[in-house]
Amino acid sequence: MRVGIDLGSRTIKVATLVDGVLQDFRVEESGFEPHRQALEMVGSYKPGKITATGYGRHLAHKHFAQDVITEIKAHALGARHYYPDCMTILDVGGQDCKVIVLNQSGKVANFQMNDKCAAGTGRFLEIMAASLGYTIKEFGEAAMTSHQDVVINSMCTVFAESEVISMKNSGIKPADIARAVHLSVTSRLVGMLNRIGYKEKVVFSGGVANNPCIVKMLEERLQIPVFIPETPDIVGALGAAIHAGKNENDTLS
Amino acid sequence: MTAQPFEVKPYPEMWESLDMDVPRFEKSRQMLGEVYTNMYLSQTNRPAKMQYFDDMVSEIFGGRIQEMLEVKKTGKPIVGTFCVYIPEEVVVAAGGVCVGLCGGSQGSVPDAEKILPRNICPMVKSAYGFKAGRICPYFQTVDFVYGETTCDAKKKTWEILDRLVPTHVMEIPQMKNKRDKTLWLEEVHDFKAKVEDVCGEEITTEKLAQAIRVINNKRKALQRLTALRAHNPAPISGKDALLLEQIAFYDEPVRFAEKVNELCDELEERVKNDDGVADKSAPRVMVSGTPMALPNWKVHNLIETAGAVVVNEESCIGTRYFKDLIDENKSTMDEQLSVLTDRYMQIDCSCFTPNDDRVDQVLKEYRDSNAQGILHYSLQFCHTYNIEEIKIREACEKEGIPYLSIESDYSPEDVGQLQTRIEAFLEQIRE
Ligand code: SF4
Ligand code: SF4
């Protein structure tokens, strides 16, 4: 069994692979000692080889994982697993987002990351949802009901939040504001995709890919279909699992 | 036998006499010693001849300052500069010392941000902060500083810096047409007059010829080092090489060239025996972009900690400083200053427009150094390098050169992000 573990800044994800097929996966909020927690999460499996990726990859490597790869490479491997003809990956997680462009053979040709600023990440959506009193699910649904083109001008989360609050106070409907927030995140993502020069097929992964409103808006803006893996949050962990044991000519199943 | 732990030597009395903030500086001294131990002394298979440069770091706030103060006592000028366009040959010809004052430390940035805008280049802020906080013995030793009109951040900071230390400004043109050389040459004449004025002595053609030879020799020694780094496996780490390029800005030039040449003799042996600091299979990265002033080792450290080796710095603290030499065969002052200016006009800084020579130079150095990828480094808010990056990127795309561009400052907060990006870049090279 090959195990991939993705130690992100907010969640830890584990994926296991047997004979090239995803067998199991888990996602947990990360606590104070991510490497302990990660070790517990893999503890119930009988791993042959473990590869770590994500922000805490080196910590996991120090304690138990045999190998590390960056989340860039992990997402490239994971996305190709679901879509062998994938050329671009857009990954939007809780605290960062990245765009990866592949070459024909699936190797990373170019990438861009944003993890310095919350704008264009799941965090941004969460903060705005909270300031309107929505859960994240309701937030997306509300946005879908609106057809008003209200615009949020601030890119910065802090300013955007106060903009949202003053919109609310000026009587703009929460659903319209929700739509505006989603549009703002979408523009940010489209901007990143354009800057790097994306190619079809575009695969969208990460927690935010579970948000149907963002997906719909992305497709409208890009005028192309965007493909969402079955389990968008664990694409990185899966990629790490695919990599696990790859370096040796092992006979692991 | 236990080796003495490395230490940057303290000279509290001397610092006091230089009107420094001694308690605060004492902390920077200790920190530098720790960082150096962690980043430098932990490297394996370092060339033995690095010893001299370790000692230079150890004496950075003491021994070398004492030497400069000795020179100063004789009435010779000690000139602080911030740019490789200021002709140090002229200062050396006057028997003086030219010292680079570019700041590479986060520690002095808050001092600068008390008055300067936050959104300007960290090098400028760091340098200004060193003076404002009285925490750099070099700044406290110089008679005056000579700034230049390259980027906006610098040229406007000179006006503010002048309140703390006499600051002269040399006008560097923005283009390289014939009339620009005329202006530049005049500025070089003025610079010479200013230096002569301070030391009360005329700079003769003999003295200038001698100084040109001295600085040419320093540059040649660094060229030799660069050529040796082209070998795979690399005989010296990028970090060590960068350190030498940084020390070039404050060491005594004759001795420095000698020591670099001694090191190169050792490296030649290594090259013969295929004895490297990294495995032959380690990715070879060339760094290009804005200068990394002492003690800015952040990116080199990340690259080399990730298992790669840096083989070239296309930067002012790097090849841009030493790739060009001055014709030594001129016998009149006018001719000498003219060929000197020609040499300085060849420096391809992004402050010039157009500056396409730099793109060719980057590609040339990439090939010459046997690198496998280019990492473009730009300091935050350095508009000229950040914009010129577009052309470097396009050239790399065209040539199929693996390429990564990063923009950073001196704060440690983006280290995690940079590490991921650099490792992903190395994965790209390895595949
Ligand atoms: S980058 Fe330009 S302005 Fe800065 S030191 Fe070099 S030549 Fe001078
Ligand atoms: S790095 Fe750029 S902004 Fe900073 S001093 Fe040099 S030219 Fe100016």
pLDDT tens readout for residues B130-184? 999 999 999 999 999 999 999 999 999 999 999 999 999 999 999 999 999 999 9
Q: Which helix (H) or strand (E) holds B379?
A: strand B373-379
User: Which SS3 state, helix, strand or coil, does residue B411 take?
Assistant: coil
Residue of A nearest to B427 (CA): A73
CA dihedral A26, A28, A30, A35 (to 10 degrees): -30
Contact list in B for residue A72 (CB cut-off 8 A) is 420, 424, 427
Alpha-carbon distance B426 to nearest alpha carbon in chain A (angstroms): 10
Alpha-carbon distance B417 to nearest alpha carbon in chain A (angstroms): 7
Domain residue spans of chain A = 1-83+233-253, 86-228
Contact across the interface for B417 and A70, Cβ inside 8 Å: no
Contact list in A for residue B423 (CB cut-off 8 A) is 70
Q: Which helix (H) or strand (E) holds B83?
A: none
User: Which SS3 state, helix, strand or coil, does residue A36 take?
Assistant: helix
Indicate the CATH number for domain B12-36+47-195: 3.40.50.11890
Domain residue spans of chain B = 12-36+47-195, 215-324+349-430
Q: What is the mean pLDDT of chain B?
A: 96
Q: For A149, how many CA atoms within 13 A lie in the half-sphere containing its CB?
A: 1
CATH class of A1-83+233-253: alpha beta
Of B290, B320, B376, the one to substitute when testing ligand 2's pocket (max ligand atoms within 8 A of C-beta) is B290
Partner residue facing A111 (CB), from B414, B416, B424:
B424
Taking residues A33-56, report their average pLDDT: 87
CATH class of B215-324+349-430: alpha beta
Query: Would the CB of B123 count as within 6 Å of ligand 2?
Result: yes
Task: Please identify, by atom number, the ligand 2 atom nearest to the C-alpha of residue B316.
Answer: 6
Contact across the interface for B417 and A72, Cβ inside 8 Å: no
**pLDDT of amino acid B133:** 96
At residue A150, does pLDDT exceed 90?
Answer: no
Taking residues B243-268, report their average pLDDT: 98
Taking residues B180-195, report their average pLDDT: 97
% of chain A at pLDDT higher than 70? 96
**pLDDT of amino acid A48:** 78
pLDDT tens digits along B327-375: 999 999 999 999 999 999 999 999 999 999 999 999 999 999 999 999 9
Distance CA B129, CA B126 (A): 5
Contact across the interface for A55 and B416, Cβ inside 8 Å: yes
Indicate the CATH number for domain A86-228: 3.30.420.40
Assess contact for B93 and B210: CB atoms under 8 A. Answer: yes
User: What pTM did the predictor assign?
Assistant: 0.93
**pLDDT of amino acid A251:** 46
At residue A26, does pLDDT exceed 90?
Answer: yes
Whether the domain at B12-36+47-195 and the domain at B215-324+349-430 fall into the same CATH topology: yes
Q: Treating both helix axes as pointing N-terminal to C-terminal, what angle do A136-145 and A174-196 enclose, rounded to 10 degrees?
A: 90
A9 by Cβ neighbours in 10 Å (0-12 / 13-18 / 19+) ranks as middle
At residue A245, does pLDDT exceed 80?
Answer: no
pLDDT tens digits along B299-309: 999 999 999 99
CA-CA distances (angstroms) from residue B140 to A95, B16, B17, B144? Answer: 45, 11, 10, 10
Give residue B85 CA to ligand 2 midpoint distance, Å: 13
